[in-house]
Amino acid sequence: MTEINPRASLHAEYRESVRELCRGFGSDYWQRVEAEGAYPEAFVKALTDAGWLSVLIPSEYGGGGLGVTEGSVILEEINRSGANSGACHAQMYIMGTLLRHGSTVQKERYLPRIAAGELRLQSFAVTEPTTGTDTTRIRTFARKQGDRYVVSGQKVWISRVQHSDLMLLLARTTPLPNVAKKSEGLSVFLVELNAAAKGMSVRPIRNMVGHETNEIFFDDFEVPAENLIGEEGKGFRYILDGMNAERILIAAECIGDGYWFVDRARTYASSRNVFDRPIGKNQGIQFPIATAYAHVRAADLMRYDAARLFDAGQPCGGEANMAKMLAADASWEAANVCLQTHGGFGFAAEYDVERKFRETRLYQVAPISTNLILSYVAEHILGRPRSF
């Protein structure tokens, strides 16, 4: 396959190293983790120790000093190997909030320890049960009291809390009726989870993809005021800033999944004989695989375009959103084709197809649903009125 990444040769080395690491965590490993309902701790530790999860931290803080393009190549390779980046991807995309808006003191305190693998920044608490995608209406409130903020409220779907040392938390600091614009009055805090005993309780949510994700209840939970990121009331903008990176990195994971499904489908189509011929000789099997492949490749181009703009510091909201949507659609199509190509065996856990099928389905909904991306494109690119 010809490479479509303009910096492919630079990235070949990263790809090979990530692949090598992932080879140590094959199908048996992922099936065991899922059967035990466990977190892939050994896998995340290996990625952390190898420095792959701190590539976006600037080199002066001990990180890799690489861009989102390289980050996306790493996550793509993880998913392309059959593994699941969902256990650890957030460190890459939430890092930007601390990097761009954290104080020098905060960066010096946390970034070198994150880069060294001593601390994990894997958790990001935005979503709430009563407000869903309508983020500016969140109800979790942080009230300033002397040198601390006292937080009360509830979050839902907060992933990796039990395997992270730090969590970015979005809360209201000025009540909604008291702000001129609803995006004002929200603030971001860096919460030290290890110190968080009193006032915070975590309830795991069993789910379709075995993702470590939770409901969190805050009841007069205290966060030191020095852990406020940037200015009070400006948090929504800080979170939005990080979203383009998140979209691009998730797109790359979907592309990794898409290539994995296409590879598995074509391999199985060559080896499975029915009616005295490999099923892959039939156009009814070939064409859906070929269509899925074409769609993954097209989404891959949009991913590189978005990543290039992001790394050049140029606006890339449209490209990042479209890359995420196209890649999520392409991986979901490839997942369906792969399952269908495998017939009944696609449903057997030992083939990994059904696990990856469930995992890639998530990206139609999280971290942003397809409808909300279409709405962004309609409003911000095509100039249509906002419909809600």
Ligand X SMILES: Cc1cc2nc3c(=O)[nH]c(=O)nc-3n(C[C@H](O)[C@H](O)[C@H](O)COP(=O)(O)OP(=O)(O)OC[C@H]3O[C@@H](n4cnc5c(N)ncnc54)[C@H](O)[C@@H]3O)c2cc1C
Contact track, ligand X, 193-212, x by CB under 6 A: --------------x-x-x-
Minimum separation from the CB atom of position 56 to ligand X (A) = 18
Beta carbons within 8 Å of 86's beta carbon, 6+ residues apart: 159, 209, 211, 253, 359, 362
DSSP assignment of 234-256, as one string?
BHHHHHHHHHHHHHHHHHHHHHH
Cα torsion 58, 64, 66, 72: sign:
negative
377 binding ligand X? (CB under 6 A): no
d(CA 216, CA 167): 12
Tally of CB atoms within 10 A around 61 = 18
* Given 54, 159, 173, 341, the residue binding ligand X (CB under 6 A): 159
Interaction between residue 213 and ligand X (CB under 6 A): yes
Does 133 interact with ligand X (rule: CB under 6 A)? yes
Q: Does 127 bind ligand X (CB under 6 A)?
A: yes
Task: Give the binding range for ligand X (CB under 6 A) out of 70-78, 95-103, 122-130, 331-339.
Answer: 122-130
Per CB under 6 A, 368 contacts ligand X: yes
Evaluate whether 202 touches 154 at the Cβ level (below 8 Å): no
Q: Which is nearer to ligand X, 130 or 267 (CB)?
A: 130
Q: What is the DSSP letter of 47?
A: H
Contact status, residue 214 vs residue 91, Cβ threshold 8 Å: no
User: Residues 24, 26, 132, 343: which binds ligand X (CB under 6 A)?
Assistant: 132
Task: Kindly state the DSSP code that residue 381 receives in the 8-state scheme.
Answer: I
Closest residue by beta carbon to ligand X: 132
**Shortest reach from residue 65's CB to ligand X, in Å:** 26
Q: Does 97 bind ligand X (CB under 6 A)?
A: no
Distances (CA, A) of 112 to 121, 279, 379: 12, 53, 40
Q: Smaller CB distance to ligand X: residue 126 or 322?
A: 126
* Segment interacting with ligand X (CB under 6 A) among 216-224, 264-272, 335-343, 369-377: 369-377
Check residue 158 for interaction with ligand X (CB under 6 A). yes
Shortest CB 328 distance to ligand X, Å: 12
CA 327/CA 79 separation, integer angstroms: 13
Asked if 121 touches ligand X (CB under 6 A), the answer is no
Residue 349 in contact with ligand X, rule: CB under 6 A: no
Region binding ligand X by CB under 6 A among candidate stretches 42-50, 77-85, 96-104, 359-367: 359-367
8-state DSSP, 367: S
Interface characters, 315-344, with ligand X (x: CB under 6 A): ------------------------------
**Smallest separation, CB 122 to ligand X (Å):** 9
Q: Could you give the angle at which helices 41-49 and 27-35 cross, rounded to 10 degrees?
A: 130
Sign, Cα dihedral of 230, 234, 236, 238: negative
Q: Does 372 bind ligand X (CB under 6 A)?
A: yes
To ligand X, the closest distance from the beta carbon of 208 in angstroms equals 8
Q: Which of residues 137-156 bind ligand X (CB under 6 A)?
A: none
Give the CA angle between residues 237, 243, 245 to the nearest 5°. 130
Cβ within 8 Å of residue 159, ≥6 positions away? 86, 90, 122, 123, 124, 211, 212, 213, 214
| Binder of ligand X out of 43, 61, 157, 304 (CB under 6 A) | 157
Confirm or reject binding of residue 167 to ligand X (CB under 6 A).
no
Check: CB of residue 172 under 8 Å from CB of residue 185: yes
What is the Cα–Cα distance from 98 to 366, expressed in whole angstroms? 22
State the number of binding residues for ligand X (CB under 6 A).
23
Interface residues with ligand X (CB under 6 A) are: 124-127, 132-133, 157-159, 207, 209, 211, 213, 362, 365-369, 371-372, 375, 388
